[in-house]
Each structure stands twice: as structure tokens, then as C-alpha cells.
Chain A
């Protein structure tokens, strides 16, 4: 079934990027965050953490490849580095895979640092891909970029902390402290993003979806894991279990947030008239912006 829309005036949900595109942001964010975590705290475990990270990134790219209309022309994605953040993301992906694979194979520290830097670039590109989507108010808000970066790093650090705790405990508590800081940063980025959208006057559909997401994401996705991690620093036994639960929550709620933003809150611009036409001797009448929080001109 072709999914083009009839002549609607109010914003409606975009139909071009679905859960497959969301998976690219979910897995790309977690994978790149995990690479950064592996470089910082992986220790002897960083080769396999790097491989898991690549599996995440590769899985996301696979699904976005499955979504495009002409998958056998995918090579054309490299043609527009001058302005397209999708091209830039694709260009970064190659060296990212090479550096991480080489790091995993050789165990050389500088290679995992290089891979982590490329992972940061990849993550930044993902944020900019959304920001450049001018037709989707929930994505074009500049505050989407710090949110995408913050949640990607938090998810990756959450997976790393949970994995390292499960594999034998974290002797060094620094990763836990960093994850707490990232959770707080993600909460701040989320609140700034929501406030910016509300202030700019987003479509009501977008604000409704994000409003429903706020409590679970904020409470169960940010504050609860941060508190669990703080508790794990204080208790003598059971710290590993708390870290695993908190790390998993940090990742899962990040995925929930990105799926919601990409596949549920992405209402388009709709149409608006700043004024209505004056016919005959009629007077100027204020315009219309159906489906928006703020009226036309607002």
C-alpha cells in the first residue's frame, strides 16, 4: 500500500522513516557510546566490547539499508559530503569499522582511541541528520543534537557498565560515576529539548506524544538508574546487580526515547496561513495554523 497522504491541513505523522530508521538511531547511538566506553574503561575487555559496539552500529545501518527504496544504489549515499549529514555519517562509518576491528584484532590502545573519536563523529552526524530535517518540528530543534549525543553515550556506558559488572564486577568505580553524570546530563538535555519545543510551538501531536513519554523516561530512565548506581557505590554486597539493572535501564529507556522521537512524535509541519484572503469589502482576518500549539504568527 502506498502511504502518501491526502490533502490534510493539520500536521500528520511522517510516513517516510519508520522503526527501521529508528533502529539506526537506537543501535548507532548505543554502539558508538559503547565504543567510547570501551576506550575509556574497557581495560582488557575492550576488544570484545568493541566488537559488540560494531555489531550494534552495523545492525542499525543494516536496517536503514533495508528501508531505502533502491538498496542496490546505496553507494550513491556517498555523493554529497558538502551539505548532507547522511553522507557524512556514511563516510565516517567506514573508518569507524576499520579502526574498531583493527583495535579488537591487534589490541593496540591508540586504535581504540581512534575508533572512539570516529564513534563520536558518527554520533554527532546522527544528531545533525535529525536537526537538518526541516519538515519535522520535533527533529529540527537544535536541542535534538545534545540529546542524541547524551543518550547515545549514556546507552553505551550503560551497556558497558552492565556487561563489565556481569563479567566479574567493576573493580574501578569510575565508570559508575561517569554513568551517573551522563544520566544527569541526559535528563538536562531532555528537559531543554522539551522546553525548546514547547516554546517554539510544536504540533500538538508531537507535544502530546512527548508529554506521555516524559514521566517514564525521566523517572525510570534517568533518575532511578542514577539512584541505583549511587546506592551501588555505598553498599558492600549486591553492587554488581544494581549496576546491571541501572545499566540496562539506561540503555532501554534511551532506545524508548529515540523510538518515540523518530517513529511516534515526528509530526510534520502541516500548513498555515498567516492571514486569510480578503474578498470584496471584507476585513483582515487572522490566519490559521491548525494542529499547532501556537496560532498562526505565534
Chain B
């Protein structure tokens, strides 16, 4: 079996938001919608202040509440763990959005552009009517993974089969791969470090591992 997972090394992330930009470029998300966000968290009081950058998005939970509540079965989970949305089935009720504890889902009802005087050529060319008024979220670039696998490439190793955010990271903070393969880079990262998962107490079994220290 394959179980895709991601590890993000919080010690390495510098908050440059290149992953956010790469995601927006790859997935053509509209203004205001970031499937991959980087939180900027300041903790403490001067002079003892710590600043942490935390990339967040869909955690592709093993037990995804968004899928359980979805009344239309638009939200599904593939055998490899990736949580998907069928835009043709989704009714845009927003139930998944309130069920997700990671604020990873977005519903856009009006077409908006980066500039006030109408769409850029890129926005015009890449506009997808199917994504209007339905739930959208990070797919872990599932199309790149699938096409890469079809070409015999290895997700997390070969850039053409790897999510855009992972490819773009300037600090190599991201690791992506098959958690069921003990030799994969993500398995080695998880095994060799100390990590936590966001809101783990909620029982969603999220599959982004936040590395915060050595083993």
C-alpha cells in the first residue's frame, strides 16, 4: 500500500511564502484563496520573543471530518490517503468547511481578479467555472503525483511527481513521500526527528508532520 504524507521542518522554514506562491501558480487559485498558507506566529514578550513560521493547508487526515459530513459524497478519500473533492457533485453547502479544524477549505462565489481592470491573460486562460461556488482545497497536487507515477517517477523524489510547494521550498523544509515505505524520505524524516501533528487531540489523524527537534 501507499500512504502519502508530508513532513515540514519548522526549524528550517523561513516564512518566505514561496510555497504559497508556487501553489497559487500551479493551481490557479483566485485572489484571497491560499491552499498553502504560511502562518507567522510570534510568542513571548520583548526581549524574549520567538517567531515561528508554520505552513498549513489540508492535512489529508486519515479520518477526515470533511468527508464524513459531506452530504453529496463529493469529498472522498483515495486508497493512498489523499482527500479529494468532486466539483461536479459538490453543492457548496459549506458543511465540510465548518467540519475542518484546519480551515483548509474555501468556497468562492464571485469571480475576482488580481487587478481591478479585469483578468490577466493567465487568469482568463486558467479560469475554471467548475470551481465556482463549490468547496476547494489543497490536493497535494494529485494530478502531478498521478501523472508522475504513470511515467514511472517517484513522488517526493522526482520534481515532476511532487507537490509544487515541496518543489519550491528554498529551505528544504518540506519532505513528501510514501509513509508506508520505510525507505522513503518522509518515513526517514519522521523516524529520525521529533514531531507533532496539528490539533491531534481532535482525532483526525492528520498526515502533515511538523518537525520541531532532533530525535
> How far is B52's CA from A279's CA once the two chains are assembled, in angstroms?
11
Q: Is the CB of B99 within 8 A of A276?
A: no
> How far is B34's CA from A8's CA once the two chains are assembled, in angstroms?
12
> How far is B91's CA from A217's CA once the two chains are assembled, in angstroms?
35
User: What residue in chain A is nearest B92 (Cβ atoms)?
Assistant: A69
Q: Which residues in A have their C-beta under 8 angstroms from that of B214?
A: 278
Q: Is the CB of A276 within 8 A of B212?
A: yes
Residue from the list B54, B93, B199 in contact with A269, Cβ < 8 A: B199
Q: Which residues in B have their C-beta under 8 angstroms from that of A293?
A: none
Q: Which residues in B have their C-beta under 8 angstroms from that of A78?
A: 71
Q: Which residues in A have their C-beta under 8 angstroms from that of B34?
A: 4, 7
Q: Which residues in A have their C-beta under 8 angstroms from that of B134?
A: 69-70
Q: Is the CB of A277 within 8 A of B11?
A: yes
Q: Is the CB of B98 within 8 A of A7?
A: no
Q: Is the CB of A16 within 8 A of B107?
A: yes
Stretch at the interface among B36-44, B151-159, B161-169, B182-190: B36-44
> How far is B134's CA from A269's CA once the two chains are assembled, in angstroms?
22
Q: Chain B, interface size: which category?
A: 35 or more
Highest count of chain A CB atoms <10 Å: which of B37, B72, B91, B98: B98
Q: Is the CB of B41 within 8 A of A70?
A: no
Is residue B69 within 8 Å, beta carbon to beta carbon, of the partner chain?
A: yes
Q: A76-B89, A77-B91 are in contact. Are A132 and B65 (CB under 8 A)?
A: yes
Q: Which residues in A have their C-beta under 8 angstroms from that of B102?
A: 135, 269, 271
User: What residue in chain A is nearest B95 (Cβ atoms)?
Assistant: A86
How many CB-defined contacts (below 8 Å) exist between A and B? 178
Is residue B215 within 8 Å, beta carbon to beta carbon, of the partner chain?
A: no
User: What residue in chain B is nearest A279 (Cβ atoms)?
Assistant: B11
Is residue B6 within 8 Å, beta carbon to beta carbon, of the partner chain?
A: no
> How far is B108's CA from A266's CA once the two chains are assembled, in angstroms?
20
Q: Which residues in B have their C-beta under 8 angstroms from that of A133?
A: 69, 95, 98-99
> How far is B56's CA from A5's CA once the two chains are assembled, in angstroms?
13
Q: Which residues in A have their C-beta under 8 angstroms from that of B107?
A: 16, 69
Is residue A260 within 8 Å, beta carbon to beta carbon, of the partner chain?
A: no
Main secondary structure, interface of A, reads loop
Residue from the list A69, A84, A90, A284 in contact with B70, Cβ < 8 A: A84
Q: Is the CB of B41 within 8 A of A9?
A: yes
Is residue B5 within 8 Å, beta carbon to beta carbon, of the partner chain?
A: no
Is residue B208 within 8 Å, beta carbon to beta carbon, of the partner chain?
A: no
Residue from the list B37, B97, B100, B210 in contact with A7, Cβ < 8 A: B37
Highest count of chain B CB atoms <10 Å: which of A21, A64, A135: A135
Is residue B74 within 8 Å, beta carbon to beta carbon, of the partner chain?
A: yes
User: What residue in chain A is nearest B98 (Cβ atoms)?
Assistant: A133
Q: Is the CB of B133 within 8 A of A272?
A: no
Is residue A62 within 8 Å, beta carbon to beta carbon, of the partner chain?
A: no
Q: Which residues in B have their C-beta under 8 angstroms from that of A2?
A: 30-33, 108-110, 112
Q: Chain A, interface size: which category?
A: 35 or more
User: What residue in chain A is nearest B55 (Cβ atoms)?
Assistant: A7
> How far is B96's CA from A84's CA once the two chains are assembled, in angstroms?
10
Kindly identify, within residues 1 to 48 of chain B, every residue whose CB is under 8 Å from any CB belonging to chain A: 9-11, 30-34, 37-41, 43
Contact with B along A45-84 (1 / 0, CB 8 A): 0000000000000000000100111110110111110011
Q: Which residues in B have their C-beta under 8 angstroms from that of A269?
A: 101-103, 199, 202
Contact with B along A264-298 (1 / 0, CB 8 A): 00101111111111110000110010100000000
Is residue A139 within 8 Å, beta carbon to beta carbon, of the partner chain?
A: yes
Q: Which residues in B have their C-beta under 8 angstroms from that of A86?
A: 69, 71, 93, 95
Q: Is the CB of B91 within 8 A of A134?
A: no
User: What residue in chain A is nearest B210 (Cβ atoms)?
Assistant: A273
Is residue A136 within 8 Å, beta carbon to beta carbon, of the partner chain?
A: yes
Q: Is the CB of A83 within 8 A of B39?
A: no
Is residue B175 within 8 Å, beta carbon to beta carbon, of the partner chain?
A: no
Q: A69-B93, A133-B98 are in contact. Are A276 and B52 (CB under 8 A)?
A: yes
Q: Is the CB of B89 within 8 A of A79?
A: yes
Q: Is the CB of B97 within 8 A of A277?
A: no
Q: How far is the CB of A73 from chain B (nearest CB, A)?
A: 5
Residue from the list B9, B100, B108, B196 in contact with A135, Cβ < 8 A: B100
Is residue B213 within 8 Å, beta carbon to beta carbon, of the partner chain?
A: yes
Q: Which residues in B have their C-beta under 8 angstroms from that of A136?
A: 98
Q: How far is the CB of B18 from chain A (nearest CB, A)?
A: 14
Q: How far is the CB of A65 from chain B (nearest CB, A)?
A: 10
Is residue B204 within 8 Å, beta carbon to beta carbon, of the partner chain?
A: yes
Q: A14-B98, A271-B56 are in contact. Are A285 and B198 (CB under 8 A)?
A: no
Is residue B81 within 8 Å, beta carbon to beta carbon, of the partner chain?
A: no
7 contacts between A and B (CB under 8 A): A4-B34, A16-B107, A64-B93, A76-B91, A269-B102, A273-B52, A284-B213
3 tightest CB-CB pairs across the interface, nearest first?
A: A69-B92, A69-B133, A16-B94
